[in-house]
Chains A and B, each alone.
Chain A
């Protein structure tokens, strides 16, 4: 603590550097990534994201420990299945943190302050989606990296193939992150009350996956595996898993995936449509909020 007197030195003009659009965009992105983990806000805002991140790490750490103790290489979890196995935790993270990024500034009418500054509407939306994507990617990719590094340390055989699978899984993680972030942000942006936002995001993920699982159950009971695979497009986690299986050479983690490379291309196109559509919807949402 310093004891200081306040000297009135009068108003000083600022004639220093003013950075351009790239700096503003980067600052906005960093601000939102920090916000996604509750940084820069009170301690209670940090509890949920860090607790969930810790839970995400547990299975990876456990799996590596089992391999180290038992020396059973196949006890190591598959990298590409990590997101699917832990989809409930990921969905909860998204549900609690997407409203922080998407609707907090809408709720408190902060948005017009951005647009009365040299911040573009599209830049604003891209920074937010990119920040949520980064947060989710970190959430999923860090445990996957723990698995890989753990595998290296415990000398799991066939290291070249492991590296290939690990890199493919990272691409899969990025795709999971961007698709889930897009869906979560849109749902949260239209439910300005935080509690509703959390519930709405959870509902979207739970209902879609339950619905898809029921249809898949019926289809498989009737041995219609093609239908079962294609229905998988309608659940976000299943959708990305289709791309992982068909285009990235992973084993399937979802119940069923549609056949052939064609199925993967359709799934990837659907992912792209979801992301671009979400950005368009968010753009309109924030543009409107900037004028209120």
Chain B
């Protein structure tokens, strides 16, 4: 059963269309939701929480309908907003206990779960101090803890790595990986950075301007491409010229040669070429795709046309468009 499924989901605000006929289904696991700022990520989360009725279309979360069973959805999911949402004058413990009670946990259970969860996200003695004195990294952990404290089946994490330094970012990503793998909680995590989602997600959904650009497993994005990278110690150009004369499609790229694989014979030609020229072969590997390539105007390889939007996708950071000001 998909944890999230939308059919023709559309959200129009007076001046912008935040979501445009979005149909997507994702299975349990860690799911990345990628898009530029204003691509409709936060709006989608609000709709999936049952807080914002969509202009058109339907959706289910954990098999529950967003329009009719919003309360039951909210009992079983956690939400970590992208903005700062913590009162500065209470301690993390006090705050997380309160939030646990707001999910219906009895007082004792709320305290136990709050202590457990804060420990899992990596807050120890400092959890008794007022939140106002916390660093950004600690605040992000408290926000994560309040989303997990009631042991949800699914958490929505909106830009959890925002504002973190590289070390904090790595720790947060590890934590997200653990939530999915060890805790057994499905995760929908948004980001505008593809690289970090590639590291933690099983499945990535890319939206742009409220439209679905692509939805597939991470392996599919990073599948082996039909390109070999060959690195030789010296005589790169000799090898390139020889292969070119033999009718192999080859081009230099930095210290490497990039060679299109035409078939099994390509490997033999490279091997023979290297041997005959007496070169030292350092590396010969099949190149893998990166998720980023989805956003490049001209993909190096023809992409499966499955769900590609008709217009040329733009790089995520450089896609202002009319949706920039989509209300949160």
Query: A: which residues have CB within 8 A of B?
Result: 6, 10-14, 16-20, 23-24, 27-28, 31, 40-42, 45, 104-105, 108-110, 112-120, 290-292
Contacts and interface: CB of A to CB of B under 8 A. Distances in A.
A11 B183 CA distance: 6
Contact of A113 (B81, B105, B182): B81
A292 B327 CA distance: 8
Contacts of B71: 118, 120
B81 A112 contact: yes
Interface of B: 46, 49, 51-52, 71, 74-75, 77-79, 81, 83-90, 94, 98-99, 101-106, 109, 113, 116, 119-120, 124, 130, 146, 150-151, 178, 182-184, 328
A118 B103 contact: yes
Nearest to A120: B71
B101 A108 contact: no
Nearest to A17: B106
A215 B228 CA distance: 91
A20 B51 contact: no
Given A105-B87, A109-B84, A10 B105 contact: no
A104 B90 CA distance: 12
28 contacts: A6-B124, A10-B182, A12-B116, A14-B109, A16-B106, A19-B105, A23-B101, A23-B104, A24-B103, A27-B102, A28-B102, A45-B89, A108-B84, A108-B86, A108-B88, A109-B81, A110-B85, A110-B86, A110-B87, A112-B79, A113-B79, A113-B85, A113-B146, A117-B99, A118-B71, A118-B74, A119-B102, A291-B51
Contact of B51 (A23, A28, A108, A290): A290
A18 B90 contact: no
B120 A292 contact: no
Contacts, number: 103
Contact of B103 (A6, A112, A117): A117
Contacts of B89: 41-42, 45
A118 B85 contact: no
A101 to B, nearest CB: 12
Contacts of B88: 108
Chain B interface main SS type? loop
Given A14-B151, A116-B74, A109 B98 contact: no
A115 B51 contact: yes
B104 A24 contact: yes
Contacts of A27: 98, 101-102
Q: Which of B71, B87, B113, B120 has the most CB of A within 10 A?
A: B87
A18 to B, nearest CB: 4
Contacts of B52: 291
B85 A109 contact: yes
Q: Which 9 A-B pairs have the closest CB atoms?
A: A14-B151, A116-B79, A18-B104, A19-B104, A11-B183, A27-B101, A109-B85, A108-B87, A118-B75
B105 A109 contact: no
B109 to A, nearest CB: 5
A104 B87 contact: yes
Contacts of A28: 102
Nearest to A22: B104
A23 to B, nearest CB: 6
Contacts of A20: 104
Nearest to B149: A14
Given A118-B71, A291-B52, A109 B83 contact: yes
B46 A291 contact: yes
Given A11-B183, A13-B151, A45-B89, A118 B84 contact: no
A12 B130 CA distance: 27
Q: Which of A6, A16, A117 has the most CB of B within 10 A?
A: A117
Contact of A112 (B85, B102, B184): B85
Contact of B150 (A14, A23, A292): A14
Contacts of B84: 108-109
Contact of A14 (B99, B113, B146, B184): B113
Contact of B90 (A12, A40, A116): A40
A118 to B, nearest CB: 5
Given A45-B89, A112-B81, A18 B105 contact: yes
Q: Which of A11, A115, A119 has the most CB of B within 10 A?
A: A11
B182 A24 contact: no
A111 B182 CA distance: 30
B104 A16 contact: no
B86 A6 contact: no
A19 B106 CA distance: 7
Given A12-B116, A110-B85, A291-B51, A117 B74 contact: yes
Contacts of A110: 85-87
B323 to A, nearest CB: 18
A76 B87 CA distance: 45
A153 B120 CA distance: 58
A38 B79 CA distance: 27
Given A24-B101, A108-B86, A108-B87, A18 B75 contact: yes
Contacts of A105: 87
A20 B101 CA distance: 10
Given A14-B113, A23-B101, 4 more contacts: A23-B106, A24-B103, A27-B101, A110-B86
A182 B92 CA distance: 30
B85 A108 contact: yes
Contacts of A45: 89
A63 B218 CA distance: 78
A18 B104 CA distance: 5
B102 A114 contact: yes
A169 B282 CA distance: 94
B136 to A, nearest CB: 15
